[in-house]
Structure 1
Amino acid sequence: MRILVTGGAGFIGAHCVHRLVREGHQLCVVDNFNDYYSPQLKEDRITWLRREVDSFDLHRLDIADSSGLLELFEQFRPEVVLHLAAQAGVRYSIERPDVYLQSNLVGFLNLLEACRAFMPRHLVYASSSSVYGANEHIPYSEKDNVDHPLSLYAATKKANEGLAHAYAHLYDIPCTGLRFFTVYGPWGRPDMSPMLFAHAISEGRPVKLFNYGRHRRDFTYIDDVVESITRLLDKAPARSLTWDGSASTSYAPWRICNIGGQRPVHLIDYIAILERRLGREAVLEFLPLQPGDVLETCADTRALEQLTGFAPRVDLEQGLALFVKWFRTYTC
C-alpha cells in the first residue's frame, strides 16, 4: 500500500515506518522536527531508519501548512493515512495551550480536509488514554464517557475524535482513532517517565514522584503498539445499519480502539525494575499531584482483540530490559 505517515520522526512514528517499510509498503513520511524536545533525537531516529530501511520519502512539513499538505497528498495519493503527528505532553499544554490548538486542532482539520479531497481507504490517527480524564471506571473501555478531560492536551484529542466522526459521517472517510496507554521503549520521548527516570537514576539525581508515588500506569511496549497498528491499517470501519449506540463505534465508518498493556503498575514497582536493570538505586522525591494528571490508567483491549486477534503481551520486566539496553547504547 501507499501509506502516508505523519509524525514519522517521532517515537511511535519511527517504529511504524521501520515495520511498514520492511513489510514492503511504499511510505511517505512527514515531520516538522519541532523543538518541543531535542530535534537531534528525531534526526537520530531518521539516521537509524536510513541505516535499517532506506526506502522511504521524507518531507519536512508542518501539518498546520494546509497548502503544503494538500500538495503532498496530490503528489503521493496515499491509500492509507497513519496520522501520528501532534503536540504531545499533558503538562506543557498547561503552559502553552496555543501550540496545542495549532497542531492538534488546526493541523488535524487540515489532514481531514486533505483526506476529503483525496479519499484514502483508511485514516488511522492517534488519540490518547488521557481522554478518559475524570472517568473512574477501571479498566477504561471505549464505551466509557469521556466528557471530562483534565488537561487541554486531552481536550484536543477528544476533539480529534469528534472531528473524525463528523468527516466520517459527512464524507464517508473511514476513520479509526487509537487511544494509546503510556507507550515506552527504545527511541522513546525524553519527556516521558522511562527516559526521565533512567537519566535521573543514572546521574544520581532525585526521581520526582508526583501524587507521592501513588500513580498506577498501564505501560505499553512499543513493539506491541506497532503490531496493533499494522494489523488495524487494512481493517477500515464500514457504515453500519445495525449500530447499537456504542460510544466506540457508529453508523458512520468510524471507531475508537484502546491500545494498552492491560496490566497497570504502581510507579514505585516500575522504578524498582529500572533500578535493577540500571544497577543503581534511585533517590526518590515525593511530590503532590500535578494539575492535569489522572490517578490510574488501565486499558480494556477486547475491541482490539476482536478486530485483530492480537493484544499487547510484552510485560514490563521484559520491556524495560530492552529499553535499558538501548538507553545505555544511546546515551553512553
Structure 2
Amino acid sequence: MRILVTGAAGFIGSHVALALLSRGDQVIGLDNHNDYYDPALKAARLARLQSHGAYTHLRSDLVDRGAVEDAFARYKPERVVHLAAQAGVRYAAQNPHAYIASNVTGFLHVLEGCRHHGVEHLVFASTSSVYGANTRMPYSEHASTEHPLTLYAATKKANEMMAHSYAHLYGFACTGLRFFTVYGPWGRPDMAPILFARAISQGQPIKVFNHGRHKRSFTYIDDIVDGVVHSLDTLPARNEAWSGLQPDPATSGVAPYRIYNIGHAQPVQLLDFIGLLEKNLGRKAQMEMLPLQVGDVPDTEADVTDLMANAGFRPVVGAEEGVARFVRWYRDYYQD
C-alpha cells in the first residue's frame, strides 16, 4: 500500500515508517523538523528510513494547508498514519498557540486531505491524557473523557471529535489510538527516560515528582509499533447495536470510527522504573523529591482488552527487558 506517515522523523513515527517499509509498503513521510528538541536526533532517525527505495520524505509543516493538499494530491496515499503533533504536556503552558496550530489546524488539513483524495483509513494519535480527571482504573475507552486537565489533552480530545464528524460525513474509516507512556530507542530527549538516564550517567540529580509514587503504563516502542500497524490493517465498522440513547465513547453507530487504548496493561511505579535505569546504568540516582505537578495525574493504567480482541495487539516487552534495551541504545547513541 501507499501510506502517508506524518511525524516520520519523530520517535514513534520513524519506528512505524520503518516497520511499514520492512513489510513492503510504500511510505511517504512528512515532518517539519522543528527545533522543539535536537533536530540532529530527527535527522539520525530519518537516515534509517532513507536507505529504503520505497521511502519518500517531505519536509513540510501540517499548518501549511497548500503543502498538505499537494502531498495528498501528488502521492495519493491509500491509508494515513497521523503521528505529527506538538508534543509535551507541560510545554503547552509556555506556548499554547503552537498546540492549536499543529494539533488542531494541522489535523484539520489532514482530515481534508483524506476527504478529498479517497483515503480509506486514517489512524491518528490521541493520548491517555484525555482521561484527565477520570480516576477510575484501568482507563477504559468506554468511559467519559470530558474533563482534560491540560491544553495538550484538550487538543487531542478535539482530534477525536473532529475525526468522528469526518468519518460520519465523508465515510472514510478513522481509528484513534490513545498512547500511554512510550519509551525505547530513539526516544524523545525531553521525556523522563532520557532525562533520567543522562542525569544518572553524569552524576546529576533528577527531579522525581509525586515522590516517585505514581504509576505509569510504560510501553516499549516495539509493542507500540505492532499495535499501530495492526490497527492500520483493521478498519473499524459502525456499531449497529448503538441506539444513541447512551452513546459509547469508543464506537459509533453512524460512522466507521473507533477509539483504542494502546499501552502495556501492567503499570510500573516510577521509583521502580528509576531502579531499573540504575541497575542497567550501574549508578545510583540522586533524587530530588517533589510534589505532583499541576496537570499531572497520579496514575495511569491501560485497559487494552478491545485492541487485543479486535486488532491482535499483544504487548510482550516488560519493563525489565525494555529498560535494558533502551539503556543499550542510549549508551551507543550518546556515548555516555
Determine the structure 2 residue equivalent to 1:270: 273
Deviation at 1:54, TM superposition (A): 4.7
Contact 1:83/1:126 (8 A) holds in 2: yes
Residue 26 of structure 2 corresponds to which residue in structure 1? Answer: 26
SS in 1 for 2:240: coil
Alignment of 1:312-323 (within 5 A): 312-323=315-326
SS of match in other structure, 2:176? strand
Given that 1:183 and 1:219 are in contact with CA atoms closer than 8 Å, whether structure 2 keeps it comes out as: yes
Gaps of 5+ in 1: none
| Structure 1 residue runs of 4 or more that deviate by more than 2 Å after TM superposition | 48-51, 238-245
The one-letter amino acid paired with 1:249 is T
Taking the aligned partners of 1:74 and 1:54, their CA distance within structure 2 comes to 21
RMSD of aligned alpha carbons? 1.0
Matches within 5 A, 1:285-324: 285-324=288-327
- Selected match of 1:330 from 330, 333, 336: 333
- Provide the secondary structure at the position in 1 that maps to 2:189: coil
Aligned 8 A contact 2:239 2:251 in 1: no
- Aligned identity (percent) is 55
Number of residue pairs the alignment of both structures matches: 331
Distance in 1 (CA, whole Å) between partners of 2:261 and 2:95 is: 27
Partner in structure 2 of residue 138 of structure 1:
137
Which sections of structure 2, spanning at least 5 residues, go unmatched? none
SS at match of 1:58: strand
Deviation at 1:294, TM superposition (A): 1.0
Q: Which amino acid aligns with 2:123?
A: V
Which one of 245, 248, 256 corresponds to residue 246 of structure 1? 248
Q: Which amino acid aligns with 1:309?
A: G
TM-score with structure 1 setting the length? 0.98
Deviations 1:74-95 (A, max 9, x none): 1111100000000000000111
Q: How far off is 1:40 after superposition?
A: 0.9
State the AA in 2 paired with 1:188. G
Q: How many Å apart are 1:238 and its aligned residue?
A: 2.2
- Per-residue deviation, residues 247-293 of structure 1 (Å, max 9, x unmatched): 10001111100101111111111100000000011000011211111
Q: Distance in 1 between matches of 2:45 and 2:72?
A: 24
Alignment match, 1:234 = 233
Determine the structure 2 residue equivalent to 1:112: 111
Match of 2:124, SS state, is strand
Q: Residues of 1 paired with 2:258 and 2:14: CA distance? A: 24
Q: CA contact under 8 A between 1:301 and 1:311: conserved in structure 2?
A: no
* Residues 50 and 71 (structure 1), Cα distance of their counterparts in 2 relative to 1, 3 Å cut: closer
Give the aligned residue type for 1:81. Answer: V
- Counterpart position of 1:68: 67
Q: CA deviation at 1:49?
A: 2.7
